[in-house]
């Protein structure tokens, strides 16, 4: 049986401190899971840029610091295969969901999104791993449903289609690595979508949360 784990984290160092989720703890969870393969939130072109030229920040500076600071060197040290599964098209990925609205409406929507974020992060310690719980995922899913209502055109590109492609890439990794241990690492907001996409795949045993 192929074992697939889901591990969400926060990319921001200040939030890592605030929510007691430093990279050292991420490393602990990775080593505890003992993966053969890590599927990371890295664009394939950015991974190629890192391999060929040693540039760690991605094709548009999007690769998060935990990859060059922890995950890439850990994969090299432990012989873990790294597979980049992120997706975006740089020329259509810059528009924010509120950009099309007048300034006053933008301010109102930003304030409402802040309230969603506060509600979401209020659940940070609901599970045994910060930001990895059903309660966090429920609020996160509701928040992105709200964003879709506000601007479906943008959300379809930057969130929905992106996730269909990312999880399709994970499923390809599963097919190519039968019987292995595969760990998906990404920002915690992606957890609910990964779980929804992978929970009924017959070939795998899904581990989420990892503890």
Tell me the per-residue pLDDT of 95-116, one tens digit each, with 9 for 90 and over. 889 999 999 999 999 999 999 9
Dihedral sign, Cα of residue 100, residue 116, residue 166, residue 90: positive
Given a cut of 90, is residue 94 above it in pLDDT?
no
Rounded percentage of the chain residues whose pLDDT exceeds 90: 96
Is residue 33 a contact partner of residue 207, using CB atoms and an 8 Å limit?
Answer: yes
Q: Strands of 204-207's sheet, edge to edge?
A: 81-84, 37-40, 181-187, 2-9, 204-207
Mean pLDDT of 174-193: 98
Average of per-residue pLDDT values in the chain? 96
What's the pLDDT tens digit per position in 42-81?
Answer: 999 999 999 999 999 999 999 999 999 999 999 999 999 9
Domain of 97, in residue numbers = 2-207
Given a cut of 80, is residue 139 above it in pLDDT?
yes
pLDDT grade, residue 91 (50/70/90)? Answer: confident
Question: Using alpha carbons only, what angle is made at residue 182 by residues 24 and 81, rounded to the nearest 5 degrees?
Answer: 80
| Number of independent structural domains in the chain | 1
Given a cut of 80, is residue 92 above it in pLDDT?
no
């Amino acid at each position: 049986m192929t074992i697939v784990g889901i591990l969400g984290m926060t990319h921001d160092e200040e939030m890592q401190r605030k929510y007691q989720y430093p990279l050292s703890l991420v490393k602990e969870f990775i080593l505890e899971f003992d993966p053969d393969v890590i599927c990371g939130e890295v664009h394939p072109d950015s991974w190629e840029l890192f391999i060929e030229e040693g540039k760690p920040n991605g094709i548009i500076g999007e690769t998060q610091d935990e990859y060059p600071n922890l995950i890439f060197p850990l994969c090299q040290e432990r012989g873990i295969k790294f597979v980049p599964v992120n997706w975006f098209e740089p020329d259509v990925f810059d528009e924010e969901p509120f950009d099309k609205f007048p300034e006053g409406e933008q301010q109102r929507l930003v304030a409402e999104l802040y309230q969603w974020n506060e509600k979401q992060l209020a659940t940070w310690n609901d599970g045994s791993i910060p930001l990895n719980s059903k309660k966090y995922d429920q609020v996160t899913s509701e928040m992105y449903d709200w964003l879709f209502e506000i601007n479906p055109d943008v959300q379809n590109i930057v969130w929905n289609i992106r996730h269909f492609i990312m999880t399709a890439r994970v499923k390809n990794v599963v097919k190519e690595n039968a019987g292995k241990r595969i760990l998906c690492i990404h920002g915690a907001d992606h957890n609910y979508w990964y779980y929804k996409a992978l929970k009924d795949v017959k070939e795998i045993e899904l581990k989420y949360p990892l503890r």
